[in-house]
């Protein structure tokens, strides 16, 4: 793959890799066991420009591209699934829609501090009755003078308890169905907005996944993102980017498991030789490496297409679906190779297996991804 | 204030292995990195850049591939970079290397010269000090802290079992220890675009040394031979009485720790 | 002539200078040369006797009030004058940090080569050149260096390599006092203040020597013994997960997968079986000594030296030997001052 990368992208990857090894990996176990949100890591990433990688410098970004951002998510995912999704949700799901659909005032007010990492972002589409059927939004927004009044709730929101800025979807006109959905920029601290239940999860346990509750929440009119009724389009296009991020996270987790396996099979001896010398395990490992590399091609392909403005929803869906399936398979296999040790918390592979599972589910279950892929080709 | 940081590209010696049959170093596949303590020197320079509005110039001598550490320096926040490269300079020992670096410093201009205490490949800790001697400026080795106001410089350093606070004046040279600071990472703001910056090349047509005075030919010291201590054999397991056991371990102390 | 720089501090000679004098006596035989000891300071005349005893044929006392304390500017100027006047073939300096600052300054001023931190010295039989051997690449490689056409041939030499010994016969040496032409203005650097370094309990990731204990040590009191050994070696104490779980040692001293990764020169594993999780915490290139009752423990396979046996008498034996050495050095310090 490296032949596709510019020298600066290679140097950036070097940075991400070192940063992940030295700053993120040492915290990964604690993040998982104590459901610890790694604020200090977010702060450190902000300093390095990692919270605004693909946005122009004049808007507070680092002036890089989407592929570089995807490599950051991958390298973080390699050592800590939680940290990688914090970055992905912030960048793909919050900064990106403001960058693409926001007014210059909104970019000035919200994108700049987000991209500089002074603020953290989140995105809230899912509701108790609007999961895969995202169009079935129950949250409503009514214009009242200079404010929209939001009522309803969101669930499973990544960075929910830790973000400062949220992209919130709500119905402004129920009669129009999905064309009646609008998107809003909501700040933590807006009147009538609060964080509800905090989920206790199987994996990515340090990421803050919460319910968001809106009770007559007053959102200034100028915080409408795009125009009224444009929300669903914003959501879908945003998710295309987000899915590349989740694909990159899954890719990183798979690679992390392979790293651990390669180390282990050289050290661990049974029947008088390294277990890596057994053909049975070599065949598993060959498949794990091959499929992870294939996932990388799909994820990087989607990122490069996004950089060139030619990304389709199917490109992103394929990257996300394939990479997450590979991550699940590779991490499960890694636990198997580690045997009894793999099932204990002494090694990180069990955590990686738990972290991998969510990548098949969030930002559109893999079943939804298949609908997206087939839908684009069967017309 | 103009600061020059001299940095060296070195093989990551923690990854260097010995060929058990030939007894030579296996350098293939070993990553080249910026010498760790040179990074401490660069960090010190970048901190002075922030607090004293200094400019930071990084200079290295080596093959064209040594450019990599200059790009890294730029991505950490250095302002400009020079690469001293000429096949005539190959094989230079510390005296000749420091003479060439000193000449480059004169050409580029400086108020302060910072280097790492020592490089992890040669471990000589001589080049930084010798540069200062060639330039006729004061030098303080093993610094752990630097503070500057006007042209007065106060350096804290650790030498043998004592801590000294030394004052001197600019221009001067300081060799920096790893205890001085924690080098920063590259940052993306400086990284994106660092490959578009020009790296100035200094070769012998610029530095103008007499051919016989540089490189291997001009160096006073020559390597007569190199060898490895021999491959590390399979571990030895010893079972005997207490006295013999103690003796075995004491031998290891002598061999590994020079405790006699 | 072979010249040896003999560092003194407060009127006490540093041991390495005497080690080098003894070595110089040996080397001098091979090139039919005399040995000159040079020491620098203000109140140093009393050192001449010791330097003579340890083999100097000639002692040069470089004396000045300004040289009472080490100042690299003044030392460099004074010593380079002596070298230029005496023109030694070989000039040896102890590779203390002081020596390794002073050496390069002198070499660059004298425009000669300098080989750093040598661990072996001998005279080449054919060329009569000094063969200076030193480790490089973090000790992975040894290099033998010569300095054929520049004089003096200079080396800094690692302390503790050569044994200092006094000459058997009663010797006399020529004692020369030299007053260097230095002035206060020559000191461009000024040592404003100094203090002795305080020894802190080492972070295990930074330690050069680690004495580490596991389940087999059996008790907190056992760990006190290990600490004693660690202190004598200038190292620090660590433990396995079992030791931490038993409360014998703090979690921040745990080596292994769920603890810290260490990279000392020497790792002494006592009563540690060496589960793979533990071994994952020891970086390659470390010399591992294992003391364990079980000859088949995994640690024995990976250790450079595995000692099968009860740890207690062995550790006691080591402590005894090392304390003896320490007190011997104290005696020596007293004798020379």
Chain C contact present for B154, CB below 8 A: yes
Residue of A nearest to C278 (CA): A346
Interface test with C, best of B220, B230, B258 (most C CBs within 10 A): B220
* Dihedral class, residue A192 (left if φ above 0, else alpha if ψ from -120 to 50, else beta): left
Cα separation, C45 vs C64, in Å, equals 12
pLDDT tens per residue across span A230-286 = 999 999 999 999 999 999 999 999 999 999 999 999 888 888 888 999 999 999 999
A49:B185 CB<8 A: no
Domain C209-329 falls in which CATH fold? Rossmann fold (3.40.50)
Q: How far is CA A106 from CA A59, A225, B193, in A?
A: 11, 8, 27
Domain C2-194 falls in which CATH fold? Rossmann fold (3.40.50)
CA angle (C3, C4, C8) in 5-degree steps:
140
Transcribe C170-217 into DSSP letters: ----EEEEE-----GGG--SEEEEEEEPPP-PPPTTT-SEEEEE-GGG
pLDDT tens per residue across span A229-245 = 999 999 999 999 999 99
Indicate if the pLDDT at residue A378 is higher than 50.
yes
Chain B contact present for A11, CB below 8 A: yes
Q: Which residues 247-276 of A are in CB contact (within 8 Å) with B?
A: none
Cβ–Cβ under 8 Å, residues B165 and B199:
no
Q: What is the pLDDT along chain C (337 residues), one digit of tens a residue?
A: 999 999 999 899 998 999 999 999 999 999 999 999 999 999 999 999 999 999 999 999 999 999 999 999 999 999 999 999 999 999 999 999 999 999 999 999 999 999 999 989 999 999 999 999 998 876 678 899 999 999 999 999 988 788 888 877 777 899 999 999 999 999 999 999 999 876 556 778 888 899 999 999 999 899 999 999 999 998 999 999 889 888 899 888 999 877 788 888 899 999 999 887 788 788 777 899 999 998 888 898 888 899 999 999 999 999 998 888 766 555 455 444 4
What the block records as the tokens of C241 is 């997960």
- Which residue intervals of A35-160 are DSSP H helices? 39-47, 66-79, 81-88, 96-101, 104-106, 112-115
Residue numbers in B near A307 (CB within 8 A): none
Cα torsion angle, B216, B221, B225, B231, sign: negative
pLDDT tens per residue across span A170-223 = 999 999 999 999 999 999 999 999 999 999 999 999 999 999 999 999 999 999
A347:C276 CB<8 A: no
C257:A29 CB<8 A: no
Transcribe C77-131 into DSSP letters: HHHHHHHHHH--SEEEEE-SHHHHHHHHHHHHHHT--EEEEESEEEE-TTT--EE
Catalytic residue numbers of A, as ranges: 363
Cβ–Cβ under 8 Å, residues C159 and C43:
no
Residue numbers in B near A62 (CB within 8 A): 188-189, 191-192
Chain C contact present for B145, CB below 8 A: no
Chain A contact present for C136, CB below 8 A: no
Closest approach of C174 to chain B, Cα-based (Å): 31
In this prediction, residue B230 carries a pLDDT of: 52
Of B185, B193, B195, the CB nearest to A15: B185
In this prediction, residue C319 carries a pLDDT of: 93
Q: Which residues 276-295 of C are in CB contact (within 8 Å) with B?
A: 283, 285, 287-289, 291, 295
In this prediction, residue C267 carries a pLDDT of: 95
In this prediction, residue C328 carries a pLDDT of: 59
Mind listing the domains of chain B with CATH numbers?
A: 2-218 (3.40.50.620)
Q: What does the domain layout of chain C look like in residue ranges? A: 2-194, 209-329
Residue numbers in B near C158 (CB within 8 A): 258
**Touching C: which chains, 3+ CB pairs < 8 A?**
A, B
Give me the residues of chain B with pLDDT under 70, please: 14, 17-24, 229-235, 260
Q: Is A170 exposed, middle or buried (0-12, 13-18, 19+ CB in 10 A)?
A: buried
**Touching B: which chains, 3+ CB pairs < 8 A?**
A, C
C194:B163 CB<8 A: yes
Of C111, C196, C306, the CB nearest to B238: C306
In this prediction, residue B232 carries a pLDDT of: 47
Cα separation, B7 vs B199, in Å, equals 14
pTM: 0.86
Indicate if the pLDDT at residue A352 is higher than 60.
yes
C258:A29 CB<8 A: yes
Chain B contact present for C334, CB below 8 A: no
Residue numbers in C near B172 (CB within 8 A): 188-189
Closest approach of A277 to chain C, Cα-based (Å): 18
Asked, colleague to colleague, whether C2-194 and C209-329 share their fold, the answer is yes
Q: Compute how many other C-beta atoms are within 10 angstroms of the C-beta atom of residue B136.
A: 10
Interface test with A, best of B36, B188, B191, B194 (most A CBs within 10 A): B188
Cα separation, C152 vs C132, in Å, equals 13
A15:B195 CB<8 A: no
Of C105, C189, C305, the CB nearest to B133: C105
Chain B contact present for C111, CB below 8 A: yes
Mind listing the domains of chain A with CATH numbers?
A: 2-119 (1.10.540.10), 122-229 (2.40.110.10), 233-377 (1.20.140.10)
In this prediction, residue A247 carries a pLDDT of: 98
Residue numbers in C near B246 (CB within 8 A): 314, 317-318, 321
In this prediction, residue B231 carries a pLDDT of: 45
Q: Compute how many other C-beta atoms are within 10 angstroms of the C-beta atom of residue A249.
A: 36
């Amino acid at each position: 793959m490296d032949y596709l990368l510019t020298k600066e992208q290679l140097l950036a990857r070097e940075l991400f890799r070192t940063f992940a090894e030295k700053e993120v990996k040492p915290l990964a176990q604690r993040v998982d066991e104590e459901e610890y949100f790694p604020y200090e890591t977010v702060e450190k990433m902000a300093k390095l420009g990692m919270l605004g990688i693909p946005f122009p410098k004049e808007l507070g970004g680092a002036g890089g591209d989407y592929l570089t951002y995807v490599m950051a998510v991958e390298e973080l995912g390699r050592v800590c699934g939680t940290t990688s999704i914090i970055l992905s949700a912030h960048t793909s799901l919050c900064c990106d829609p403001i960058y693409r659909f926001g007014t210059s005032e909104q970019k000035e007010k919200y994108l700049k501090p987000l991209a500089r990492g002074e603020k953290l972002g989140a995105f809230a589409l899912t509701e108790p009755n609007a999961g895969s059927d995202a169009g079935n939004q129950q949250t409503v927004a009514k214009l009242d003078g200079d404010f929209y009044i939001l009522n309803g709730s969101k669930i499973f929101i990544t960075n929910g308890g830790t973000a400062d800025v949220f992209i919130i979807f709500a119905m402004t006109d129920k009669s129009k169905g999905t064309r009646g959905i609008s998107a809003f920029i909501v700040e933590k601290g807006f009147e009538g907005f609060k964080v509800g239940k905090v989920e206790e999860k199987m994996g990515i346990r340090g990421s803050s996944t919460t319910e968001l509750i809106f009770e007559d929440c007053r959102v200034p009119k100028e915080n409408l993102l795009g125009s009224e009724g444009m929300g669903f389009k914003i959501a879908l296009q945003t998710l295309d980017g987000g899915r590349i991020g989740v694909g990159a996270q899954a890719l990183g987790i798979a690679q992390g498991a392979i790293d651990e396996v390669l180390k282990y099979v050289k050290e661990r001896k049974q029947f008088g030789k390294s277990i890596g010398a057994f053909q049975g395990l070599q065949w598993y490992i060959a498949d794990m490496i091959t499929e992870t590399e294939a996932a990388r091609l799909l994820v990087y392909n989607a990122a490069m297409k996004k950089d060139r403005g030619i990304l389709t929803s199917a490109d992103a869906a394929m990257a996300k679906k394939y990479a997450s399936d590979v991550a699940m398979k590779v991490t499960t296999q890694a636990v198997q190779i580690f045997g009894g040790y793999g099932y204990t918390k002494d090694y990180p592979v069990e955590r990686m297996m738990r972290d991998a599972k969510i990548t098949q589910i969030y930002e559109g279950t893999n079943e939804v991804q298949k609908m997206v892929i087939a839908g684009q080709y069967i017309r | 204030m103009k600061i020059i940081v001299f940095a060296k590209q070195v093989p990551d010696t923690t990854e260097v292995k010995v060929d058990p049959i030939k007894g030579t170093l296996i350098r293939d596949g070993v990553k080249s990195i910026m010498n760790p303590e040179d990074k401490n020197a660069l960090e010190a320079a970048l901190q002075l850049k922030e607090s004293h509005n200094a400019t930071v110039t990084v200079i290295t001598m080596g093959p064209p591939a040594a450019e990599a550490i200059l790009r890294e320096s730029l991505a950490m926040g250095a302002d400009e970079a020079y690469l001293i490269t000429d096949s005539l300079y190959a094989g230079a020992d510390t005296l000749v290397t420091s003479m060439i670096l000193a000449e480059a410093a004169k050409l580029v201009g400086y108020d302060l010269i910072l280097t790492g205490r020592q490089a992890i490949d040669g471990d000589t800790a001589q080049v930084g000090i010798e540069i200062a001697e060639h330039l006729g400026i004061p030098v303080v080795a093993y610094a752990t802290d630097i503070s500057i106001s006007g042209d007065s410089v106060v350096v804290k350093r650790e030498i043998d079992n004592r801590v000294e606070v030394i004052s001197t004046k600019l221009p001067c040279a300081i060799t920096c220890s790893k205890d001085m600071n924690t080098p920063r990472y590259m940052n993306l703001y400086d990284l994106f675009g660092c490959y578009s910056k020009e790296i100035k090349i200094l070769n012998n047509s610029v530095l103008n040394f007499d051919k016989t005075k540089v490189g291997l030919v001009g160096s006073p010291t020559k390597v007569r031979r190199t060898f490895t201590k021999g491959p590390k054999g399979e571990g030895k397991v010893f079972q005997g009485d207490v006295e013999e056991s103690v003796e075995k371990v004491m031998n290891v102390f002598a061999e590994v720790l020079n405790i006699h | 002539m072979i010249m040896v720089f003999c560092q003194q501090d407060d009127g006490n000679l540093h041991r390495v200078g005497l080690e080098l004098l003894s070595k110089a006596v040996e080397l001098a035989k091979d090139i039919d040369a005399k040995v000159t000891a040079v020491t620098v300071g203000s109140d140093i005349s009393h050192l001449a006797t010791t330097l003579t005893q340890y083999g100097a044929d000639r002692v040069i006392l470089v004396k000045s009030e300004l040289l009472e304390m080490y100042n690299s500017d003044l030392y460099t100027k004074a010593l380079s004058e002596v070298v230029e006047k005496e023109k030694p073939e070989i000039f040896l300096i102890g590779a203390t940090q002081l020596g390794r600052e002073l050496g390069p300054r002198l070499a660059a001023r004298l425009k000669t080569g300098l080989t750093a931190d040598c661990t072996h010295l001998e005279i080449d039989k054919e060329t009569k050149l000094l063969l200076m051997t030193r480790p490089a690449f973090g000790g992975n490689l040894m290099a033998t260096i010569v300095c054929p056409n520049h004089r003096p041939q200079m080396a800094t030499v690692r302390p503790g390599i050569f044994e200092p010994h006094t000459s058997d016969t009663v010797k006399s040496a020529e004692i020369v006092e030299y007053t260097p032409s230095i002035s206060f203005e020559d000191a461009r650097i000024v040592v404003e203040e100094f203090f002795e370094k305080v020894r802190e309990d080492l972070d295990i990731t930074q330690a050069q020597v680690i004495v580490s204990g596991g389940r087999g040590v059996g008790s907190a009191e056992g760990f006190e013994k290990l600490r004693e050994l660690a202190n004598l070696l200038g190292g620090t104490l660590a433990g396995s997960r079992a030791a931490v779980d038993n409360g014998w040692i703090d979690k921040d001293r745990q080596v292994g997968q769920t603890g810290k990764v260490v990279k000392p020169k020497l790792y002494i594993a006592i009563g540690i079986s060496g589960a793979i999780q533990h071994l994952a915490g020891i970086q390659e290139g470390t010399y591992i000594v294992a003391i364990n009752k079980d000859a088949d423990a995994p640690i024995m396979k990976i250790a450079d030296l595995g000692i099968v046996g009860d740890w207690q008498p062995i550790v006691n034996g080591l402590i005894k030997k090392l304390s003896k050495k320490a007190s011997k050095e104290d005696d020596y310090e007293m004798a020379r001052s």
